Amino acid sequence: MNKRSRNIDDLLIESLADGQFHSGQQLANEIGVSRTAINKHIGKLEQLQLDVFRVHGKGYRLPSPLQLLRYEKLATGIDQTDARLYLKRVTSSTHDDLKQLLQESPARTLPAGTCVLAEMQTQGRGRRGRAWSSPFGSNLYASFFWPLTDGLNSALGLSVAVGISLAQLLQQAGISGVSVKWPNDVYIKGAKVAGILVELEGQPTGEGHALIGIGLNLKMPSHIAELIDQPFTDVQSHVTGDLDRHQWAIQLINNMRTALLNFSHDGLADMVPTWRQLDHFYGQPIRIILGQHEQLGIGQGIDNHGALLVRQDNGLKRYFGGEISIRAGI
């Protein structure tokens, strides 16, 4: 998509964001293109999973208003640090954007906590390459850059620290029933509300860095539900009143940067008791899936390095990340 096309799509989204009807001619006049071009670009918005109503004699509208994120509003609430913020309307994935930034400038020159925030990802992904549904203008999709000056081994337990911070963010909003699933999911009353993807680049004992991706469901459109193959929920379902996406984005960015800084200084040890309180599977039968193999046991929380502790017939065993998944036991 060329630059002109992107500008038309952005202008069209901004016009329709109020949730009101706009005639094709009105949109054409506002944007400075033909009605035929408007119809073409409406089709492109529908490919972005935006549900656009077309009513003869009235024009086009979205099912409900969109609260588009504005850089200026975000900047006024984010704690002042050297870290940068990049806001994207539509991107392949925020992780890919961070990788592009690293290609353009050495990792040493990218400030810790630099964040890419997007309205939509066309190729959002979770652990083990699974797709992450990323509808436009509904949720929060962010990736953070964090240097690992002591090597990749210093990142052990990083996803656990991020999960705890996300869970506490939800609790601070008055949401009950919040829990965490090792190593990278956050639940509300047993349904997934957020996912974490940590990618490490560098050497085990030399300098490296982490890319921390977060997807937080704020208000999932109903027409997207059929595309999701697991129980899920969103923040809006557990709070009263309309969400302020700017405030949620600001709190997410501030909390993540603080959590990453604390983790770098203090490690995970002080968070282990908090994890136990939040652990979705603590004391519960679980299945540990390692590729084509399974192990059964009772969840016992985590150790000081973020490893999963499982009570099995032959004693207490530790499991680290990678290709391990856990499910409720039978």
Say yes or no: 37 and 117 in one domain: no
pLDDT at 328 over 90: no
Query: Among the listed ranges 80-84, 192-196, 281-285, which one has the minimum average pLDDT value?
Result: 80-84
Say yes or no: 261 and 164 in one domain: yes
Task: Tell me the pLDDT tens digit for each residue of 157-212.
Answer: 999 999 999 999 999 999 999 999 998 899 999 999 999 999 998 877 778 899 99
Segment 145-150 mean pLDDT: 91
Say yes or no: 245 and 260 in one domain: yes
Range of the domain at 30: 3-61
Query: Among the listed ranges 81-90, 105-114, 227-236, 295-304, which one has the minimum average pLDDT value?
Result: 227-236
Strand partners of residue 191: 188
pLDDT at 221 over 70: yes
pLDDT at 327 over 90: no
292 part of a folded domain: yes
Could you say which of 43, 61, 79 is where a domain stops? 61
Say yes or no: 122 and 16 in one domain: no
Q: Write the CATH number for 186.
A: 3.30.930.10
Say yes or no: 120 and 250 in one domain: yes
Say yes or no: 150 and 14 in one domain: no
Query: Among the listed ranges 21-35, 81-95, 127-141, 206-220, which one has the minimum average pLDDT value?
Result: 127-141
Residue 295 CA, chain-centre distance (Å), reads 29
Q: Is 327 a catalytic residue?
A: yes
Give 292-317 as a 3 state SS string. CEEEEEEEEEECCCCCEEEEECCEEE
Split into its structural domains, the chain has a count of: 3
66 part of a folded domain: no
pLDDT, residue 84, reads: 93
Say yes or no: 208 and 291 in one domain: no
Say yes or no: 105 and 39 in one domain: no
Segment 126-148 mean pLDDT: 76
Catalytic residue among 54, 70, 318, 327: 327
Catalytic residue among 125, 127, 181, 219: 127
pLDDT at 3 over 80: no
Q: CA-to-CA distance for 109 and 224, rounded, in angstroms?
A: 39
pTM: predicted TM-score of the whole model, two decimal places: 0.87
Q: Is 54 a catalytic residue?
A: no
Say yes or no: 108 and 48 in one domain: no
177 part of a folded domain: yes
Say yes or no: 167 and 246 in one domain: yes
Give me the chain's average pLDDT, please: 87
Could you say which of 256, 275, 294 is where a domain stops? 275
Q: Is 58 a catalytic residue?
A: no
Catalytic residue among 125, 181, 192, 219: 192
pLDDT at 6 over 70: no
What does the DSSP assignment read for 237-282? GGSSS---HHHHHHHHHHHHHHHHHHHHHH-SGGGHHHHHHHBTTT
Say yes or no: 303 and 214 in one domain: no
